[in-house]
Amino acid sequence: MVDIVTLTPNPAIDLSTSVERLVPSRKLRCAAQKRDPGGGGINVARVVQRLGGNVEAIFPAGGFTGKLLKLLLDEENVPNRIVEAVAETREDFSVSENATGEQFRFVLPGLPLAEHEWRGMLETLAATSPAPKIVIGSGSLPPGVPVDFYAQAAAVAKQLGAKFFLDTSGKPLTAALAQGVTLIKPNLREMQELAGRPLGCEKEWVDAARAHITAGQVEIVALSLGHLGALLVTKDEALRSPALPVTPVSTVGAGDSFLAAIAHRLAQGGSVADAFRLGLAAGSATLTVHGTQLCGPAEVERLYGQVIIEPI
């Protein structure tokens, strides 16, 4: 039985490399490139699989890069169901500057999906049997996909009797909240966009999250705060955790890892507080690896014991 199914409407091949220093108008000699399967839901699935969870990834794929994406996922033993697409699957790339330790991320737009392709993702999800415990929608929407795609996915999850977790932003997030979801994972900028105002302190963060919970739009808000740590809010409790003392090497996939570990622990029947703890450990572990490699279970376990959670 698959406990968690992820939806990634805008997947990618993530390429990473490094140079000594980025200098304009010069030929820059890069280190050996590394390619990983990418896109929000795909990264979530990769981390759930590494943590020992039962997961399956649903996504569209087309062209040579689409075939490569499936090959890379198969190499990581991540079960998947592909909706065949005409458009070539996009590529993203990140470049680390060795001299400064800075990372530069270049995110390319996805090519349009036809209506039968994006609807095929929802039909594939609806055909999941037995039904999963959790469905996770994650990432941006490519051209051709309606802003209420995740709202439609949430409705399909409800029909399956599954919880729906979402990590996206802007109009797709607003539309899904109107439909009703179980969990959202905004960062502070995205939370401020939802609130329509600056949120300058902890009380304002909690109040903004609770406004959506009280309105019946969501049950859990997992708010990532970067170097300030994270916050998790439900109807009955608010939990705060400071950032772990790790040295960030790459930010790629940290938020996806945070969400993946939360979902994995909740699918196991764990408490919200323990899921939050595991999520913080996984997100922090991903910060410590190069490029788009994502966290490993040993480092997640090591950091798990260092997480401090305080009720607000």
Taking only the tens place, the pLDDT of each residue in 21-34 is: 999 999 999 999 99
Q: Which of 118, 52, 116, 38 is nearest to 263 (CA)?
A: 52
Dist. CA 76–CA 70, nearest whole Å: 10
104 within some domain:
yes
DSSP 36-96: EEESHHHHHHHHHHHTT--EEEEEEE-HHHHHHHHHHHHHTT--EEEEE-SSPPEEEEEEE
256 in active site: yes
182-199 per-residue burial string, b: 16 or more CB within 10 A, e: under 16:
bbbbbbbebbbebbeeeb
Cα dihedral sign, 98-101-106-107: positive
150 within some domain:
yes
Give residue 287's pLDDT.
96
Query: What digits encode the pLDDT tens for the residues 105-160?
Result: 999 999 999 999 999 999 999 999 999 999 999 999 999 999 999 999 999 999 99
Pick the catalytic residue from 148, 167, 256, 274. Answer: 256
Dist. CA 280–CA 255, nearest whole Å: 9
171 within some domain:
yes
254 within some domain:
yes
Q: What is the CATH number of the domain that holds 96?
A: 3.40.1190.20
**Alpha-carbon dihedral 105, 99, 242, 272, rounded to 10 degrees:** 40
DSSP 80-113: EEEEE-SSPPEEEEEEEETTTTEEEEE-PPPPPP
27 within some domain:
no
Query: What digits encode the pLDDT tens for the residues 202-222?
Result: 999 999 999 999 999 999 999
Q: Which of 59, 49, 55, 47 is nearest to 12 (CA)?
A: 59
Averaged pLDDT of the chain:
96
**The pTM is what?**
0.96
With a CB cutoff of 8 Å and minimum separation 6, the contacts of 202 are: 231, 240, 312
Give residue 180's pLDDT.
98
Q: How many CB atoms lie within 10 A of CB 7?
A: 29
143 within some domain:
yes
pLDDT at 291 over 80: no
Dist. CA 292–CA 139, nearest whole Å: 16
pLDDT at 293 over 90: no
Query: What digits encode the pLDDT tens for the residues 246-262?
Result: 999 888 999 999 999 99
Residue 15: in which H helix or E strand, if any?
strand 12-19
pLDDT band for 52, please (50, 70, 90 cuts). Answer: very high
Domain count, the chain: 1
285 within some domain:
yes
Give residue 10's pLDDT.
98
Give residue 9's pLDDT.
98
Distances (CA, A) of 131 to 2, 62, 126, 151, 156: 8, 27, 9, 18, 11
Q: How many CB atoms lie within 10 A of CB 113?
A: 25
Query: What digits encode the pLDDT tens for the residues 53-101?
Result: 999 999 999 999 999 999 999 999 999 999 999 999 999 999 999 999 8
Give residue 168's pLDDT.
98
Domain that holds residue 239: 4-22+32-311
Peptide bond into 130 cis (omega under 30): yes
pLDDT at 279 over 90: yes
Give residue 161's pLDDT.
98
pLDDT at 1 over 90: no
